[in-house]
Structure 1
Amino acid sequence: MALLTHLLACVFGTGSWVAINGLWVEVPLLVTALPEQWDLPSYITIIIQTANVGPLFVTLMYRFRPGLLKEVPVIYVIVSTGILSCVLLAFLWSHTSPVGGVPHSTAFLVLTFFLSLVDCTSSVTFLPFMMQLQPRYLTTFFIGEGLSGLIPAVIALGQGSGISKCVNVTRVVNITFGNETTEGSVSQMETRYLPANFPPFLFFLLTAAMMVACLVAFFFLSRQPKVWELSQQQLFPSSIILSSFDQLPEDGAGSRDRGGCPCPKDTGQPEKGQLEKVSFSAAKLAFIYFLIAWTSSLTNGVLPSVQSYSCLPYGNTAYHLSATLSSMANPIACIVAMLLPGRSLALLGVLAAAGTAFGAYNMAMAAMSPCPLLQPSPWGDAVIVLSWVLFTGTLSYVKVMAGVILRSRSHGALLCYGAMEQLGSLLGALLMFPLVNVYGFFQSADYCSLRCPG
């Protein structure tokens, strides 16, 4: 049963961000087909952060109407919404309509909002639900959350999305000399995108299938014995066992706080029958939540907005590999966290600084677009791909270990984890959207016809 529960927790975790991760690994193909082109990642990023109305609503309900909003029905609703949105996206992703006289992929952007609503809300519902199960299943859940990026990335690699080649094209042009016009030919290099092995239609249907698997796993997980049930059975085998998380008494282990911030407060030594909590000073808690907000702002808001500008100057292959391999770095970081857990806050601070440094390099290359460092050299391709992989991997490890540390504290601590994750992501996206789409701080160019000095 323990092995089965681990499997269910892993499959359940894959549904937390699979829809949005699927969109990101498909972006190298979508930027060649949708009218937003290189600006598409920034649109996706700001839409994802707009969808924070979902976790905001859930958090406010927990704060002002505790016990009214049940986690299990909410999870059923959001996962079902994700399934429906993925299916609709498979059929409508390429539909465009004019907005202000400019064509936009309205169907894709609207459905992206609903998928984002699902995944953002999972941050404040999936983790608190996992609090009901034994602590050993939380790391398995994080592995599944990492697989939500790995599996779409593997599918995208097999799809070959966004792969291109440079071809020499000769065009006939009219050349005017005084009053005479003659025809001439001009040769230039242009980008030609290779057809994908299968279309986005099938890719989004596969994403919908993963969401269905998540729903089935949650159905069985919600019927597993809860932590407090096991504790009660050990202490009071003849008593009536609580079967709902919301029925816990206010002073019991893992109970919701009834006033103030949903973040937990220390209650001293645990009473008999309660789950042991780990106590942190206010400064350490503030540092942990800062790490969560900072790493989330970089990984979910700031850097995704400019990944196209950071990678496309090196070619579509570099962009494709950066998008897919960096997604694979997330589950690898989760597995490393399971095998080599590091609870030292000093270690997490060092790793966060290292990840920030890799992110700074990626941002610098985006700012230098379309002529970043090492642009004509294959070394440039290798360095930018490696930088994106290490950026994602190190910061993913930090976020996973922060979640494991807070799991040992309380349900409210995990709720605050989700809230800080979404707050950081929102601030990062709000910072980058005007820089990309209003002020035009980043420049695009055709890779094959690009001529950079040196």
Structure 2
Amino acid sequence: MASPLGTSALSVAADPESRSALQREGAAVYAAFVIFGLGSWSSINAVFVESSFLVSLQPERWALTTWIVLALQAANLVVLFAVRPLLRKMRLSWTAASAASLILAIGSCFGLSLGGYRHVAVLFGAERSLGLLALTFLGGLANCGSSLVFYPLAATFPRRFTTALAVGEGLSGSVAGVLGLVQNHFQKAGALAFSPTTYFGIEAGVSIAAASALLFIDRHRFAEKLRESQEQRSSFVPVVSEEASSGVAGAPAGQSLMSTFWSFRTPLLALFLGAAFSFGVLPSVNPIACLHYSDGQLVLLWSNVVIYGFDPISRLMTAFTNFRRLGGFIVVFLLAASVVLAAAKAKPSEATPGLFGWPWVVPMANVVFAASFGYARTMAFLILKDASGDSASAEYRYWAAGFAVQSGSFAGSVVSLLLVEVFKAL
């Protein structure tokens, strides 16, 4: 039976004391991947959680989240169409590209912690939170880029470390959510327990911890042994061939972007659709669904928190279970998202208080969505890993999966803008 930390191949024929030392070193690398994953969406998760408080301060009010999604997707477009050619030209390794992503995230959080969210300017004929949106864009460059570079780096290690990275990615939201709950629960005289400035400063510290973990992964001798055990080739950002009409020249022979999408259409479709709702539709629609209720701000906070709480748990379950029928998970998280859309469409008179009333439907639907998509997302990467005979194939397929996530995120944001206008008209 394989070691839970993927170290069994290195501990064969070793004496008990040496095996124990290898297990400890494997655990250290595993923990480093979890901490590294904390930096994947740290700044954006922080903005979304804090938006439940900022809606009362910023000029956009309840439309603030929609503008945040716009800034995020503007960054997403840059990542999809501009960053990749830049990385190709610079020939950055996955480690260097990941470090650049984390540096941007740290800068975004520090800018917000220094009060950048307070800067307001007239934009399109109305006051807009220009500072918040600009720093969200910067954080979006970092976090959207993480989908394209963090996982290919994990592909150069045994599959267990993909789960570790995924758990850390989910926990990045949990940390943001717990901080938001503490900030709200320990209010004094109606004031938050600590200011948004402090909140974003803590999140900057999370990104710094992630960068430190990346340095550990890159420099630790046992991590290098794990890489070697994966028959790794030199891992560089894939290069697009000028002659090829599609695909990546750095891809293994016989593979292209289109052929990869077709061969793995179910896991990649799960990533595309889940990202469309997770990063596009639900962040824009959740505030509208909560707007109908007198305690809407609290309901919105809990809706954000439950997503970030159940997501890492469901990701961790992929280490102990092996449910690969992702079509069923797609149906489940689409139904859960539909419940949120129905709640957003409901008229205020239809809302009833209480545990089983409308206010709690939105958080519960978000629980189901987070749990089903979190599991499906991680399992999709593991399916791609298991189907790859070497690290080169795994790196390329993980990059294709990241592209599916970011494409879905952009598509979801476009749909969300249309939905917001429809719900306003109702």
Q: Secondary structure at the match of 1:160?
A: helix
Any idea what SS the aligned residue of 1:195 has?
A: coil
Residue 270 of structure 2 corresponds to residue 312 of structure 1? no
- Post-superposition shift, 1:412? 0.7
Q: Within 2, Cα distance between the matches of 1:81 and 1:161?
A: 31
Q: Which residue of 1 is the match for residue 101 of structure 2?
A: 78
Contact 1:61–1:69, Cα closer than 8 Å, also in 2:
no
- The 8 Å contact of residues 59 and 419 in structure 1, kept in 2 or not, is answered as no
Once the two structures are TM-superposed, the CA of residue 396 in structure 1 deviates from its matched residue by 1.6
Tell me, in whole angstroms, the C-alpha distance in 2 between the residues paired with 1:421 and 1:281.
Answer: 14
| 2:114 matches 1:130 | no
1:328 shift after superposition: 0.9
- Secondary structure of the 1:103 match is strand
Name the amino acid aligned to 1:76. Answer: A
Partner of 1:338: 319
Distance 2:139 2:347 in 1: 30
Q: Residues 340-390 of structure 1: CA distance to partner in whole angstroms, max 9, x if unpaired?
A: 2322x3xx111210111111010111122544x443454222222211111
Q: CA contact under 8 A between 1:127 and 1:415: conserved in structure 2? A: yes
Query: Does the 8 Å contact 2:99/2:211 carry over to 1?
Result: yes
Q: 1:28, 1:319 within 8 Å by CA — same for their partners in 2?
A: yes
Alignment partners' CA distance in 2, 1:143 and 1:127: 12
Q: Contact 1:162/1:194 (CA < 8 Å) preserved in 2? A: no
AA paired with 1:357?
L
Cross-structure match for 2:82: 57
Contact 1:134 1:226 in 2 (8 A): no
Contact 2:59 2:128 in 1 (8 A): yes
**Equivalent residue for 1:425, pick from 395, 409, 415:** 409
1:213 to 209, 215, 236: 209
Give unmatched runs, 5+ long, in structure 2.
1-24, 389-393
Contact 2:280–2:416 under 8 Å retained in 1: yes
- Corresponding residue of 1:293: 272
TM-score, length of structure 1 as denominator length: 0.77
Is the contact made by 1:406 and 1:414 (CA closer than 8 Å) also made in structure 2?
A: yes
Once residues 200 and 425 of structure 2 are traced to their aligned partners in structure 1, the CA distance between those partners, rounded to angstroms, is 30
Which whole-Å CA distance do the structure 1 matches of 2:122 and 2:239 have between them? 48
Q: Please state how far the C-alpha of 1:256 moved relative to its aligned partner.
A: 7.8
- Within the candidate set 193, 202, 226, 2:198 is matched to 202
Counterpart amino acid of residue 415 in structure 1: W
CA distance in structure 2 between the partners assigned to 1:161 and 1:443 by the alignment: 35
Q: Does 1:68 align with 2:85?
A: no
Shift of 1:74: 2.1
Helix, strand or coil for the counterpart of 2:229?
helix
2:5 maps to: none
> Residue 327 of structure 1 aligns with which residue?
308
* Deviation, structure 1 residue 161: 7.5
Question: How far did residue 231 of structure 1 move?
Answer: 5.7
CA distance in 1, matches of 2:200, 2:310: 22
Coordinate RMSD, CA, aligned: 2.9
What is the letter of the counterpart of residue 181 of structure 2? L
Is contact 1:58–1:124 with CA below 8 Å preserved after alignment? no
- Amino acid of the structure 1 residue aligned with 2:82: F
What amino acid is aligned across from residue 207 of structure 1 in structure 2? E
Q: Distance in 2 between matches of 1:407 and 1:163?
A: 46
- Aligned pairs for 1:156-167 (under 5 A) are 156-160=180-184
Distance 1:354 1:440, change over 3 A: closer
Write the distance in 1 (CA, Å) between the matches of 2:70 and 2:300.
21
Aligned to 1:400: 378
Cα distance in 2 for partners of 1:38, 1:441 equals: 13
Q: Which residue of 2 aligns with 1:447?
A: none
**Whole-angstrom CA distance in 2 between matches of 1:394 and 1:92:** 36
Counterpart mapping for 1:373-392 below 5 A: 373-379=350-356, 380-392=358-370
Between 8-17 and 406-415, the greater mean CA deviation after superposition = 406-415
Structure 1 alignment gaps of length 5 or more: 165-192, 233-241, 248-254, 269-279, 445-454
Computing the radius of gyration from Cα coordinates, the structure with the larger value is 1
How many residue pairs are counted as aligned between the two chains?
A: 381
Answer yes or no: is the 8 Å Cα contact 2:344–2:423 preserved in 1. Answer: no
* Aligned with residue 120 of structure 1, among 144, 154, 179: 144
In 2: Cα distance, 1:328 partner to 1:95 partner: 31
Percent same amino acid at aligned positions?
Answer: 25
- After TM superposition, give the deviation of residue 140 of structure 1 in Å: 0.7
CA pair 405-27 structure 1, distance change in 2 beyond 3 A: same
Q: Distance in 2 between matches of 1:353 and 1:71?
A: 34
Structure 1 position 282, deviation (Å) = 7.3
Per the alignment, residue 67 of structure 2 pairs with 43
Query: Structure 1 residues 283 and 96, CA, compared in 2 at 3 Å: closer, same or farther?
Result: closer
Q: Give the partner amino acid of 1:342.
A: F
Please report how far the alpha carbon of residue 266 of structure 1 lies from its aligned counterpart in structure 2 after TM superposition: 7.2
Instruction: Give TM-score scaled by structure 2 length.
Output: 0.82
Matched, 1:261 2:261: no
CA 421–231 in structure 1, closer or farther in 2 if over 3 Å, else same = closer
Structure 2 counterpart of 1:387, one-letter code: A
Give, in angstroms, the shift of residue 27 of structure 1: 1.4
Cα offset, 1:440, TM superposition: 5.6
Change in Cα spacing, 1:261 to 1:335, as seen in structure 2 (3 Å) is same
Range 382-391 or range 140-149, more displaced: 382-391
Distance 2:260 2:106 in 1: 42
**Quick check: which one's strand share is greater?**
1
Deviations 1:109-162 (A, max 9, x none): 100000011000011111111112222211111110110011111111101189
Given that residues 104 and 141 in structure 2 are in contact (C-alpha distance below 8 angstroms), is that contact kept between their aligned partners in structure 1?
A: no
| Amino acid of the structure 2 residue aligned with 1:78 | S
Structure-2 change in CA distance of 1:57 and 1:101 (3 Å): closer
